[in-house]
Amino acid sequence: MSSSEQSLSASASAESRRRFARKKRRRKANPTGDMALVEHLRELRRRVIISVLALLAGTILGFIWYAWSPPGVQTLGEIMRGPYCSLPQEMRADFSNDGECRLLATSPFEMFLLRMKVGALAGLVVSSPVWLYQIWAFITPGLHKGERRWTMSFVAIAVTLFVAGALLAYFIIDIGLEFLLTIGEEAQIAALTGGQYYNFVLALIVIFGVSFELPLIIMMLNIVGLLHYDAIQGKRSYVVIGVFIFAALLTPGGEPFSMLIMAVAVNILVELSFQFVRFNDKRTGYDEIAGWSDLDDEEASELDYTPDAVERAAPIAGGGSTPASASPRPSAGPAPSRQDDRPAAGPAAQESFGPGTFDDVL
């Protein structure tokens, strides 16, 4: 190796070491997470890009899985079509000569768009650990150190709740469909298009999955100190009624069975989150402080502090009474009277003032 090549490799290695040192210093420059507005925007852009890339990769995977799957595994199209095909054959129209359960397509691009839509939903679920982590990682710098340790727990619980809600919706779809399709079956038969059916199924799955995240939101608000048990203790009846109204408004199709299942499941999860809030307040000692909020403005709170008894003071060493031989301090005599400069009023002076003196003056 020539001297020029050695100098070039040495300069390149030195440049790489300096670049690594700069990255290391940049990584350690902000341990508290304090950032300016521009840095917040850059961080948000980075988190969004990572989430979009993960969602795009999951969508491609779902698009492929819709029509192809490994041996022994159902395709995504068969899984989505399962609740409809589980209905009795006399309840659905058959447009195939071989008797296979299929949905109806009424436009040229409908099948492609449905495949894209199902693939996007599958990508949303598959990539949920990534984008949920990105959301929490963007919020984490504004939290305390004790609150940041909930990051992985937040992601795991969020994914578990969403998948649980989606699975519950999937297993009750056939019950809701059977109820809806039997209304007026004496005069008509259901011939669902792919768009109508998949919109119903996807809406139900997403609504159930998102609704199951409500308990997690309650728990995280308690962890960051924005919600405590004393604020929700006597409001369970309002919460139950609100959840039922929420389920009635958002459940697609308007059939009562899905609404009832969703409302009961969400109320159970909300009650579990309330118990977590109660336990966490006791663990952090907030319930003791919260007892002061019930006092009137003019009422003093009770103190648990009892002062200790004060011991008798010890006598001063070498102290004693004043000796009797000590001569008392001489008292000051009476102040000398002030001599009046005016002449004394004698009989001669009185004679100089006649009886009409004051009359003359007036």
Residues 135 and 82 sit within 8 Å (Cβ to Cβ): no
Q: Is 157 within a domain?
A: yes
Residues in the chain, overall count:
362
pTM as predicted: 0.66
Sign of CA dihedral 225, 226, 227, 228: positive
Residue 168, token pair as written in the block: 């519950």
- Which one-letter DSSP state was computed for residue 252? T
Reduced to 3 states (helix: H, G, I; strand: E, B; else coil), residue 68 is: coil
DSSP H helical segments within 184-316, as ranges? Answer: 194-211, 214-223, 229-232, 236-250, 256-284, 286-290
333 located within any domain: no
Residue 173 falls inside a structural domain? yes
Q: How far is Cα 176 from Cα 277, in angstroms, rounded to an integer?
A: 34
Q: Decide if 214 contacts 127 (C-beta within 8 A).
A: no
Question: Looking at residue 123, what is its pLDDT?
Answer: 92
In this prediction, residue 193 carries a pLDDT of 86
Per-residue model confidence (pLDDT) at position 260: 92
- Domain tally, the chain: 1
- 305 assigned to some structural domain: no
| CA nearest to 103, candidates 84, 120, 88, 116 | 84
Q: Looking at the domain assignment, is residue 189 inside a domain?
A: yes
Domain that holds residue 52: 35-212
* pLDDT at res. 362: 46
Would 90 be classed as within a structural domain? yes
Mean pLDDT of each 10-residue bin along the chain, 362 residues long: 58 64 52 70 92 95 91 89 85 76 85 90 90 83 66 84 92 85 76 86 91 92 86 89 91 83 94 92 71 57 67 70 50 51 49 50 47
Asked if residue 48 belongs to a domain, the reply is: yes
In-domain check, residue 260: no
